[in-house]
Amino acid sequence: MAEQTPNTTDTPVTGYACIQGYLRTLSGAPGVYRMLDAQARVLYVGKARNLRARVSNYARPGHSARIERMIRETASMMFLTTRTETEALLLEQNLIKQLKPKYNVLLRDDKSFPNILVAKDHPFAQIKKHRGAKKEKGTYFGPFASAGAVNRTLNQLQKAFLLRNCTDAVFDSRTRPCLLYQIKRCSGPCVGLISEADYAASVKDAERFLSGRSTRVQEELAAEMMAASEAMEFERAAALRDRIRALTTVQGAQGINPRGVAEADVVALHLENGQACVQVFFIRANQNWGNRDFYPRVGEDVSAAEVMEAFLGQFYDNKEPPRQLILSDAIENADLMTEALSEKAGRKVELLVPQRGEKAELVSGALRNARESLARRMSESATQAKLLRGLAEAFDLDGPPKRIEVYDNSHIQGTNAVGGMIVAGPEGLMKNQYRKFNIRGDELTPGDDFGMMKEVLTRRFTRLLKEDPDRDKGLWPDLLLIDGGAGQVSAVQEIMVAHGVEDIPMVGVAKGVDRDHGKEEFHRIGQRPFALKRNDPVLYFIQRLRDEAHRFAIGTHRAKRAKAVSATPLDDIPGVGAARKRALLAHFGSAKAVSRADLADLTAVEGVSEGLARKIYDFFHES
């Protein structure tokens, strides 16, 4: 790859003249181009089969309103040539996700999807939910659309196949069956209530079911049930009946299970009034494993082909594509996208735009979902916009806030103190912007809420001044809501003055008389407290925001407290990670017993070398 950087001149040229200035030095090689504004912010990232031809297109008038605006703002360009157009496509999508340019179609929700893992690193396989890199030994089934879909399927699979979900450490420490065995969700392999061969057969049945061969599994279970009934083994027959019922429940929850589509993602796009919704249905092993909706950022004049191509490139950037992608709209560079996805998957990937048959019916159903989801979102956005306008009127703001930050603290008598920040805007809660703050101030008096709030806001504004000093990245709040009254507001005001950010409106939300919902008082610097009417929608909106901040802070505090409860002195020993910690505790029974062990006993633990044993021994015997 070869990169050209922007031209630098004393008098910056923008628009068509700027773009035309680059044509003399550009070659006809494939590559990626970036358009930048006068502040060197990336406006747009694009790919080209021929860079010179593509850029010359921008140098001539006759574009849509969106592209015309982008050209007017362009003050410089950057170019990166590649060996092939496929490389250019992959690089383009990486840069879009990294830089988030203003004029590109941008996929905003890009989380990984959960799978079901049948772990094979133990004689009695464990079945569990898995998210992330597939590093563990075992068989993976997925992706599922959500954690809820996985949990429901796992719940029914436990009933059907009685497979364990406990960790290896819990499995090895059991001396009697757990509650799951008592309620017929596990076969009790931990205490020898099922042989290794019989358990392996159940694992095989579960894998066959998840691979789409469910009918055969149910037929075999039905035959076993009849045989047990004829032999008057009624308890066993009832258990087999319950297993068949559980399998039927899983199939029923999956909705439509296509016969002619073994492995595919159905991707349907609906565009309306400058907004887009993309529905993705996951079909694996002829089973529908759920669907998710996405709302990419688009302009008013983008085409369906452009949105679909951008979505596919960004969505599969960090996910393995299935064998078929069944699309509602064709894309311009289908051959290029097919080549890129096939190269990524290491096998052939097909892009289909069906016009009739079962695949077309799948697309029609996904399109209906996309249309209905976008209608609901637009309705919610209209309601949210009305609430934000009401909030601006109630607190005398210059306009509806685009970013509201709400803060709360949580602790128990000062211990495990944390601060929580939630964020809301025109599209509702922005959960990917939530932040937690572990309170570190050693000089704080336990339970000093003012001091905790000061620490949280100090760290927040210090980071904002470092990451976005010009306030042009959308990270700065338009309104701060603080859980508390006049004292908290004064404490936060001191921090804002110290950091020179006094222009941000800030309101304290106090519980009011009898600490009752509906009697909240609002505190602002230099003004008397006031309240809103009990039935005011803006009041309900503020209550929801405060309750969400409270929920987030409490959840973070509980997680920190739970971690502290399970903490041991072993956590402070260099070289002792989670696996060796588990091995030591399993071998000795407690951290106290580890502290009393001699070198010979420590080296007897699996995974503990003589050097590490010496470190552990010295840690507890420094004196």
Tens digits of residue pLDDT in 180-223: 998 888 999 999 999 999 899 889 888 887 876 655 666 777 77
Q: What is the mean pLDDT of residues 139-161?
A: 84
114 three-class SS: coil
Question: What is the distance between the alpha carbons of residues 105 and 450, in angstroms, rounded to a whole number?
Answer: 43
- So what's the pLDDT on residue 598? 85
pLDDT bracket for residue 422 (50, 70, 90): very high
CATH topology assigned to domain 263-375: Nucleotidyltransferase; domain 5 (3.30.420)
Residues forming CATH 3.40.1440.10 domain(s) in the chain: 2-99
Is residue 34 pLDDT above 60, yes or no?
yes
Tokens encoding 401: 């806030």
Q: What is the helix (H) or strand (E) element at residue 485, kind and residue range?
A: none
Compare 43 and 470 and report the one with higher pLDDT: 43
Taking only the tens place, the pLDDT of each residue in 403-421 is 999 998 886 655 668 889 9
Q: What is the mean pLDDT of residues 533-541?
A: 88
Residues forming CATH 1.10.150.20 domain(s) in the chain: 569-620
- So what's the pLDDT on residue 623? 46
CATH topology assigned to domain 404-563: Nucleotidyltransferase; domain 5 (3.30.420)
Q: What is the mean pLDDT of residues 7-34?
A: 82
Taking only the tens place, the pLDDT of each residue in 110-143 is 677 899 999 988 899 999 999 888 888 899 988 8
| Strand duo 324-327 + 287-294: pairing | unpaired
Compare 470 and 7 and report the one with higher pLDDT: 470
pLDDT bracket for residue 567 (50, 70, 90): low
Question: What is the distance between the alpha carbons of residues 553 and 119, in angstroms, rounded to a whole number?
Answer: 34
Question: What is the distance between the alpha carbons of residues 52 and 141, in angstroms, rounded to a whole number?
Answer: 46
- So what's the pLDDT on residue 401? 94
Taking only the tens place, the pLDDT of each residue in 82-118 is 989 988 998 998 899 888 898 999 887 667 789 999 9
3-state secondary structure 521-552: EEECCCCCCECCCCCCHHHHHHHHHHHHHHHH
Taking only the tens place, the pLDDT of each residue in 352-382 is 999 999 999 999 999 999 999 998 888 888 8
Is residue 266 pLDDT above 90, yes or no?
yes
Question: What is the distance between the alpha carbons of residues 194 and 187, in angstroms, rounded to a whole number?
Answer: 6
CATH superfamily of the domain spanning 2-99:
GIY-YIG endonuclease (3.40.1440.10)
Q: What is the mean pLDDT of residues 8-28?
A: 80
Is residue 54 pLDDT above 80, yes or no?
yes
Give yes or no for a contact between 132 and 126, defined as CB atoms under 8 angstroms apart: no
Q: What is the helix (H) or strand (E) element at residue 62, kind and residue range?
A: none
- Non-local CB neighbours of 611 within 8 Å, separated by 6+ positions: none
Nearest to 39 by CA among 541, 472, 458: 472
pLDDT bracket for residue 322 (50, 70, 90): very high
Q: What is the helix (H) or strand (E) element at residue 437, kind and residue range?
A: strand 435-438
The separation between CA 241 and the C-alpha centre of its own chain, rounded to angstroms, equals: 38
Question: What is the distance between the alpha carbons of residues 445 and 416, in angstroms, rounded to a whole number?
Answer: 13
Question: What is the distance between the alpha carbons of residues 397 and 39, in angstroms, rounded to a whole number?
Answer: 29
- So what's the pLDDT on residue 566? 56
Amino acid at 430: M
Taking only the tens place, the pLDDT of each residue in 486-505 is 888 888 888 888 888 888 99
pLDDT bracket for residue 248 (50, 70, 90): low
Residues forming CATH 3.30.420.340 domain(s) in the chain: 404-563
Taking only the tens place, the pLDDT of each residue in 324-354 is 999 999 999 899 999 999 998 899 999 999 9
Matching CATH number, 569-620, of 3.40.50.300, 3.40.1260.10, 1.10.150.20, 1.10.1140.10: 1.10.150.20
CA distance to 588, 598, 599, per residue, from 594 (Å): 6, 9, 10
CA distance to 366, 455, 605, per residue, from 357 (Å): 15, 62, 62
Question: What is the distance between the alpha carbons of residues 543 and 537, in angstroms, rounded to a whole number?
Answer: 10
Is residue 10 pLDDT above 70, yes or no?
no
What are all long-range contacts of 483-487, with beta carbons under 8 Å and residues at least 24 apart?
A: 483/406, 483/407, 483/408, 483/409, 483/508, 483/509, 483/546, 483/549, 483/550, 484/449, 484/453, 484/508, 484/509, 484/510, 485/510, 485/521, 485/523, 485/529, 486/510, 486/523, 486/529, 487/450
Compare 241 and 23 and report the one with higher pLDDT: 23
Percent of the chain past pLDDT 90, that is, above it, reads: 34
Is residue 293 pLDDT above 80, yes or no?
yes
- So what's the pLDDT on residue 512? 64
Tell me how crowded residue 68 is: count the other CB atoms within 10 A of its CB. 15
- Give me the half-sphere count of Cα atoms (radius 13 Å) on the Cβ side of residue 448: 15
Question: What is the distance between the alpha carbons of residues 511 and 560, in angstroms, rounded to a whole number?
Answer: 26
- Non-local CB neighbours of 399 within 8 Å, separated by 6+ positions: 392
Count of positions (residues) in the chain: 623
Percent of the chain past pLDDT 70, that is, above it, reads: 89
Is residue 73 pLDDT above 70, yes or no?
yes
Phi-psi region of 232 (alpha: psi -120 to 50; beta: other; left: phi over 0): left
455 three-class SS: helix
Rounded to a whole number, what is the distance in angstroms from the first to the last CA of the chain? Answer: 59
Give yes or no for a contact between 311 and 93, defined as CB atoms under 8 angstroms apart: no
